[in-house]
Amino acid sequence: MSENPNKQYDILIAGAGFAGSITALILNNLGFKVCLIEKGQHPRFAIGESSTPVADLILRDLATKYNLPWLYDFSRYGSWQQSHPEIVCGIKRGFSYYKHYPGKAFATDENHKNELLVAASSDDIQSDTNWLRADFDAFLVNKVKDYGINYFDQTEIIKAERNADWEFQIDHFNESTNIHASFFIDATGSGKLLNKILGIESSSEEFLTNSVSIFSHFNQVPKWLEMLQKENIPTDDYPYNPDNSALHQILDEGWIWMLRFKDDRLSFGFVLDDTNTFYENLPTDKIWNDLLEKYPSVNCILKDSKLATVPGKILRSERLQRKMKQCFGAGWVALPHTVGFVDPLFSSGIAHSLSGIEKVICCIRKNWGNEALLEKDFKAYENAVFGELKITDNLVAGCYKTMPYFDLFNAWSMLYFAATIAHEQRRIKLEPPGYFLNADDQEICTMVETSYTDLLKLIENKQPTEEDIKWFTGLIKERIQPYNIAGLLEPSSKNMYLHTVAKI
């Protein structure tokens, strides 16, 4: 891009992930003069690939409300394939979980005691998707350019100063220049930029969850369903093919995500409980190889695979949990993934980002030109994002505690499905969406918090007995009853749930 970015804009957005690009496209359609900058260059590898029914509901809403009709097609696998088969994605029919025990090949029984499959759609056409982010994010940035929005890659903010307006000193292709804008949106997906330019700190202190991730993309990974069938594991009553889902292998110390794309690429990552900072000082290769050795069926999954050309190596995260001290300030706001993150279990990131975009756009549209009102609404946005991170943390932390005991994990995870069903129902009924995961619903928050306390009592310093687990499962079943339109925890379902997004 040879054009000089040195101009006056209404809004500067930093970070051209899907969130930054969609925000730029919406604001442009609302008549704002927008500039989007990206420190890297598309196409680029990115993680965070598995969408959900809530993400898709919001995508459809944003597409309709802000006149981006082509965006609508990406909210279902069928319409995505019809409109843009060249942009790689995968079918995601639901959430699947398989429990592995150290030293043993995966085994289960006809009641699926070590499996849990929760369908989120009725067929492949209506299905959610796994987004190949390199493709999808590059497509969105091209749309940004098509709409005539000023887009500058390989561009970073060095310094920012706000008087009447913002003056950003930026490094653009290794040359220093200035951008002037009335407002700034941080969509960079981490707190680092705001820390650098405004001194806004992030911390992990408040989180119950403590996890790290090691991941990459692979080719030539056998299909999990075929592996199960080879072992004569009954799969006839599965609600969908687990390879077409967010497939999770549950270990004692964490879990694995397996997200398949239609070109047979597989996103594979370990997410490990690091409460005792066990992994902090271990080399990545050692962690990876030790886990493969410990779990024979996981080793079988990867043994003949090849690292995909991109990223071409195994990547490692720092501790995943982080939260900025504030979401907004005078003349700026940050999108949810910049504000904070908990853990990819339950694939809540994309939906959280989209629900943040929805709120931020509303605030700006309603209050542009009135800083006091804008900040009042951003305060409400901040409360929402912080509340959403808190409930996600509670739900995910309980999962890590229960991973060694699959029946308990199964019961605990139903709290997430109850919260998400409640939220989907609000949206399907066209009620005001409130907070993501209904984190503004006091009954849901209390249900999750009380259950967490009960769980800790149950497993503190001891292995839960079968009786303990039965009692806890009954307790959760009773607590989720007001939201349970999907027959969750009904013994007759044998851990196979046909469809949690109920139609009304």
Ligand X SMILES: Cc1cc2nc3c(=O)[nH]c(=O)nc-3n(C[C@H](O)[C@H](O)[C@H](O)COP(=O)(O)OP(=O)(O)OC[C@H]3O[C@@H](n4cnc5c(N)ncnc54)[C@H](O)[C@@H]3O)c2cc1C
Q: Look at the block and give the residue holding tokens 């027959």.
A: 487
Residue closest to ligand X when measured from CB atoms: 48
Among 25, 26, 34, 49, binds ligand X (CB under 6 A): 49
User: Minimum distance from CB of 90 to ligand X (Å)?
Assistant: 11
Nearer to ligand X, 119 or 197 (CB): 197
Quick note: the x/- pattern for ligand X over 143-182, rule CB under 6 A, is -------------x--------------------------
Please name which of 439, 450, 208, 186 lies closest in space to residue 331, comparing C-alpha atoms: 186
40 binds ligand X, rule: CB under 6 A = yes
User: Minimum distance from CB of 234 to ligand X (Å)?
Assistant: 28
353 binds ligand X, rule: CB under 6 A = yes
Tell me how far apart the terminal alpha carbons of the chain are, to the nearest angstrom. 49
Nearer to ligand X, 48 or 404 (CB): 48
H/E stretch holding 8 reads strand 8-14
Residue 355 backbone dihedrals phi, psi, to 5 degrees:
-70, -30
User: Minimum distance from CB of 267 to ligand X (Å)?
Assistant: 8
Dist. CA 269–CA 291, nearest whole Å: 12
Among 11, 13, 14, 247, binds ligand X (CB under 6 A): 14
46 binds ligand X, rule: CB under 6 A = yes
Q: How many residues bind ligand X (CB under 6 A)?
A: 33
User: Minimum distance from CB of 150 to ligand X (Å)?
Assistant: 14
94 binds ligand X, rule: CB under 6 A = no
Side chain identity at residue 460, one-letter code? E
50 binds ligand X, rule: CB under 6 A = yes
Identify whether the C-beta of residue 256 lies closer than 8 Å to the C-beta of residue 345. Answer: no
Nearer to ligand X, 10 or 156 (CB): 156
15 binds ligand X, rule: CB under 6 A = yes
Among 182, 188, 249, 321, binds ligand X (CB under 6 A): 188
Q: Give the distance, in angstroms, between the CA of residue 263 and the centroid of all CA atoms in the same chain.
A: 22
Among 25, 27, 35, 47, binds ligand X (CB under 6 A): 47
38 binds ligand X, rule: CB under 6 A = yes
Nearer to ligand X, 347 or 394 (CB): 347
Dist. CA 504–CA 502, nearest whole Å: 7
User: Minimum distance from CB of 83 to ligand X (Å)?
Assistant: 21
CB atoms within 10 A of CB 259: 26
Nearer to ligand X, 15 or 464 (CB): 15
Sort residue 154 into left (φ over 0), alpha (ψ -120 to 50) or beta.
left
Judge residue 327's burial from the number of C-beta atoms within 10 Å of its C-beta, 0-12 exposed, 13-18 middle, 19 or more buried: buried
Q: What secondary structure, in 3-state letters, does 177-237 show? A: EEEEEEEEEECCCCCHHHHHHHCCCEECCCCCCCEEEEEEEEECCCCHHHHHHHCCCCCCC
Quick note: the x/- pattern for ligand X over 234-273, rule CB under 6 A, is -----------------------------------x----
Please name which of 73, 56, 48, 49 lies closest in space to residue 121, comparing C-alpha atoms: 56
User: Minimum distance from CB of 164 to ligand X (Å)?
Assistant: 24
Side chain identity at residue 420, one-letter code? T
User: Minimum distance from CB of 26 to ligand X (Å)?
Assistant: 14
Identify whether the C-beta of residue 265 lies closer than 8 Å to the C-beta of residue 309. Answer: no
User: Minimum distance from CB of 371 to ligand X (Å)?
Assistant: 24
340 binds ligand X, rule: CB under 6 A = no
191 binds ligand X, rule: CB under 6 A = no
Identify whether the C-beta of residue 378 lies closer than 8 Å to the C-beta of residue 327. Answer: yes
500 binds ligand X, rule: CB under 6 A = no
Nearer to ligand X, 5 or 269 (CB): 269
Residues 269-308 that bind ligand X (CB under 6 A): 269
The three-state secondary structure class of 405 is: coil
Residue 13 backbone dihedrals phi, psi, to 5 degrees:
-115, 130
Would you state the structure tokens that stand for residue 272, as one six-digit string? Answer: 């490990």
Nearer to ligand X, 215 or 378 (CB): 215
Please name which of 395, 406, 416 lies closest in space to residue 484, comparing C-alpha atoms: 416
213 binds ligand X, rule: CB under 6 A = yes
75 binds ligand X, rule: CB under 6 A = no
Dist. CA 465–CA 471, nearest whole Å: 10
The three-state secondary structure class of 162 is: strand
Nearer to ligand X, 93 or 337 (CB): 337
Q: At what angle do helices 442-459 and 466-480 cross, to 10 degrees?
A: 180
User: Minimum distance from CB of 156 to ligand X (Å)?
Assistant: 5
Nearer to ligand X, 44 or 180 (CB): 44
User: Minimum distance from CB of 189 to ligand X (Å)?
Assistant: 2
Nearer to ligand X, 16 or 374 (CB): 16
Q: At what angle do helices 53-65 and 349-367 cross, to 10 degrees?
A: 30
Nearer to ligand X, 351 or 448 (CB): 351
Among 26, 140, 208, 335, binds ligand X (CB under 6 A): 335
Across 69-174, where does the E strand assignment appear? 89-92, 94-99, 115-119, 128-131, 150-152, 155-162, 166-172
Give me the residues that bind ligand X (CB under 6 A), please.
Answer: 14-20, 37-40, 46-50, 156, 187-189, 193, 213, 215, 269, 317, 320, 335, 337, 344, 347, 349-350, 353
